[in-house]
Chain A
């Protein structure tokens, strides 16, 4: 019985030492992580160093590439809201600054040959995040043929004629794309490319994948009610079983 107690005591002591060691190592890891994070050394009470304002500058060893602009975007260009006219003559004022969504501004023209691919691609579903609004901006009527822009304008995409917007964003030529972060009102990425597909990949890198973050504010009441969908698929199933495929002439007989 005495031997048993002694063994248990020894085991307990060993475990205590192990736990203490683990806790110490964990604290050491936390301290090192905080130091790497730019929090500075901790004082005796475990608080951050007084007088330190912001993260320590990121440094790299010689020969390694520098990272892109700092994470808080303080050195990113300022963005501007867009005012102009639509191809149909509508007066348009839309917001890109201080809003919940981001905006991808496509600066295109009717005359540039490399813009043609963009105009065509805009007629198909675009590969953008749900919280990104796509707006095409051309120069104003003094530079563009409004009727031609109207012919190129794809349905379901905002098109604005605005020479001022080209000036505001310092657009060097078309095609050119600028991604605006709505929350900060700053440009997050810009550049050009041969197609929307190529540009959207660049935007995705600039956006850090944030374009895939959840749906924009506001609920959507679009889409069919469930009952509609169920009935439709039931009927479609029966029609298919009967050999009546979509587009079958029997579905399009005019009743008078």
Chain B
């Protein structure tokens, strides 16, 4: 029997970011700016998490807590902003949201190296704002099949001037 309601994309906006996530992707857009956890003067910036599976609570900014429950068909995307002074620095010299190819992913390009998974990380500047984009595939072997879904999500990502 099919689904009662046709799946719809969902929009999340905030902090000058906008993502239109297709079904069955989920999204979280947050900024950890509680004074009691930034007592030394840390600068809190927006973090966007996108995934085609149920995102567990209690995740690290680069996805721990979520990557451990990923199956071979799952994809996790994290977008983290940095302070404006870093824009266009050599690490952030690339302009525009990158589109990683399947061959760009590696088993060692992971924050937390887990069997079977593949990761890719890229730094860039968009609209004067420096970011890191990090993608984890539940199955590196299926990168050619999973990466188009990543592109579809990134195609609907908009980064404003902030």
Q: Are chains A and B touching in the complex at the 8 Å CB cutoff?
A: yes
Interface residues of A (CB under 8 A from B): 72-74, 78-81, 83, 86, 88-95, 97-99, 101, 133, 155-158, 183-186, 216-222
Question: Is B147 interfacial (CB-CB < 8 Å)?
Answer: no
Q: In whole Å, how far is B136's beta carbon from the nearest beta carbon of chain A? A: 12
Greatest chain B CB density within 10 A among A93, A157, A186 is at A93
Contact call B10/A83, Cβ cutoff below 8 A = yes
A/B interface sample: 21 pairs, CB < 8 A? A74-B1, A81-B10, A83-B10, A83-B12, A88-B30, A88-B34, A91-B29, A92-B27, A93-B26, A93-B27, A95-B25, A95-B26, A97-B5, A97-B7, A98-B24, A101-B54, A158-B57, A218-B70, A219-B69, A221-B68, A221-B115
Residues in B whose Cβ lies below 8 Å from that of A101: 54
Cβ-defined contact, B4 with A220, below 8 A: no
Contact B28 A91 (CB under 8 A): yes
Q: Closest CB-CB distance, A83 to chain B, in whole Å? A: 6
Where chain B touches its partner, the secondary structure class is loop
Q: Is B23 on the interface with A (CB-CB < 8 A)?
A: yes
Residues of A within 8 A of B34 (CB): 88
Are A94 and B3 neighbours in the complex by a CB distance under 8 Å?
Answer: no
Q: How many residues on B have C-beta within 8 angstroms of the other chain's C-beta atoms?
A: 39
Q: Provided the pairs A218-B74, A221-B114 are in contact, do residues A89 and B4 lie with their beta carbons within 8 angstroms?
A: no
Q: Which residues of chain A come closer than 8 Å to B32, judged between CB atoms?
A: 88
The yes or no answer to B14 lying at the interface (CB within 8 A) is yes
Across the interface, A185 reaches (CB within 8 A) one of B4, B27, B53, B67, namely: B4
Contacts of B138 in A (CB 8 A): 218
Whether the Cβ atoms of A219 and B71 lie closer than 8 Å is yes
* Residues of B in contact with A (beta carbons under 8 Å apart): 1-5, 7-8, 10-14, 21, 23-32, 34, 53-55, 57-58, 67-71, 73-74, 114-115, 138
Q: Are A185 and B69 closer than 8 Å at their CB atoms?
A: no
Cβ–Cβ contact A133 & B30, under 8 A: no
Q: Is the CB of A218 within 8 A of B69?
A: yes
